[in-house]
Amino acid sequence: MPANLPPEYYTAELRFKQATIPQEKILALEELISTVPKHKGTDKLRADLRRRLSKLRDESLKKKKSGKGDLYTVEKHGASQAALVGFANSGKSSVLAAITNAHPVIADFPMSTVMPLSGMMPFEDIQFQIIDLPPVGNDSTDGWVSGILRSAHMLILVVDSCNDPKTQTELLLDQLKIWKIPLMKTGEDTSQAGSLRPKPAVIIVNKTDTGGRAPEMTDMKRMYGAHFPVVSFSALKKKGINELKNVLFTSSGIIRVYSKEPGKEPDMDSPFTLPYGSNVLNLAHIIHKDFVRSLKYACIWGSAKFEGQRVQKDYLLHDRDIVEYHIR
């Protein structure tokens, strides 16, 4: 039976062949697998790709010789990196599968996730890297899990709506305090936080497809909604995905900015991502170091008072601004 592979497969295959480092290969291969249609003609191909994926995941595990800190490392990809945090059977792997191109092991038994696994979550014209980790509360993994959480940009706390989500949330928050991983609360000013800068956090109340979960969601939003975004989610029925994506972008603290050359149309397919509060000069540093020295002024489309307004180097950029640089 012919495979009848779609055009997306060959595009993803090219990205996989061009990948150079293990984590890039894993992400590209996960995307490649997701493009293969499921029928008898592709059984052998899908099995071969999954074997290659399993081998790549094993090779990507890096143990530090010192024996301290993170035993595993996860290279950052995309606009922002968010790590899933939760107890056994909270549904972290199901969440990862619902919002990304990853293919985690999903099972009812504890510890089905034994190593870091990441996938890319598309949001409009950018992508977020989402990392699934072993559950909190296991002595054999907590050491390196906490290390990955410290390096992630954001945390996603996943709690099971069927199993006392308020207690789960309190226990997760307590454990993060023990690990000295502070979380940013809504409206909190973290500009003077020093080296322990609080991380944005989102709470997912998972498995809300089960009947009678409305009181739990009401209680969760009443208790935590003033401090963190609380999202009702069903990985099984794929409900809450769009809300989660919007919340993650809003919480990430990043903006998308597009560049253009004088007299040409802007490149709207590949935005630069910068922290909120970045200015024209900050973007110039990213585009090319010579821009900083040679920059005369910039023109802005988007947040400016009028389209193409000429601005100075310290002009604050906003999401979806288009910047045209004029060089000496």
Rounded Cα–Cα distance for residues 39 and 36 (Å): 9
Q: Per residue in 125-175, pLDDT tens? A: 999 999 999 899 887 778 888 889 999 999 999 999 988 999 999 999 999
Please give the pLDDT value at position 126. Answer: 93
Roughly how many angstroms between the first and final C-alpha of the chain, as a whole number?
62
Tell me the DSSP string of 76-131.
Answer: --SSEEEEEEE-TTS-HHHHHHHHSS------SSTT---S-EEEEEEETTEEEEEE
Please give the pLDDT value at position 52. Answer: 87
Please give the pLDDT value at position 71. Answer: 46
Please give the pLDDT value at position 212. Answer: 55
| Residues in the chain, pLDDT under 70 | 1-3, 18-24, 60-72, 105-114, 189-195, 210-213
Instruction: Domain count for the chain, please give it.
Output: 3
Q: What is the CATH number of the domain that holds 305?
A: 3.10.20.30
* Nearest by Cα to 250 from 179, 187, 174, 327: 187
Please give the pLDDT value at position 36. Answer: 86
Residues 236, 275, single domain; the answer is: no
Please give the pLDDT value at position 63. Answer: 39
Residues 151, 230, single domain; the answer is: yes
Residues 39, 112, single domain; the answer is: no
3-state secondary structure of 233: coil
Please give the pLDDT value at position 190. Answer: 61
In a domain, 2, yes or no: no
Residues 122, 201, single domain; the answer is: yes
Rounded Cα–Cα distance for residues 96 and 100 (Å): 6
Residues 113, 246, single domain; the answer is: yes
Rounded Cα–Cα distance for residues 60 and 74 (Å): 9
Please give the pLDDT value at position 67. Answer: 43
Residues 236, 111, single domain; the answer is: yes
Q: Which of 196, 229, 252 represents a domain boundary (last residue)?
A: 252
Please give the pLDDT value at position 80. Answer: 94
Please give the pLDDT value at position 66. Answer: 41
Residues 145, 262, single domain; the answer is: no
Residues 88, 168, single domain; the answer is: yes
Residues 274, 236, single domain; the answer is: no
Kindly state the helix (H) or strand (E) to which residue 255 belongs, with its residue range. strand 254-260
Give the residue numbers spanning the domain of 165: 80-252
Residues 207, 259, single domain; the answer is: no
In a domain, 69, yes or no: no
At position 207, the amino acid (one-letter code) is K
In a domain, 53, yes or no: yes
Answer yes or no: pTM beyond 0.85. Answer: no
Residues 115, 248, single domain; the answer is: yes
Q: What is the CATH number of the domain that holds 86?
A: 3.40.50.300
At position 274, the amino acid (one-letter code) is L
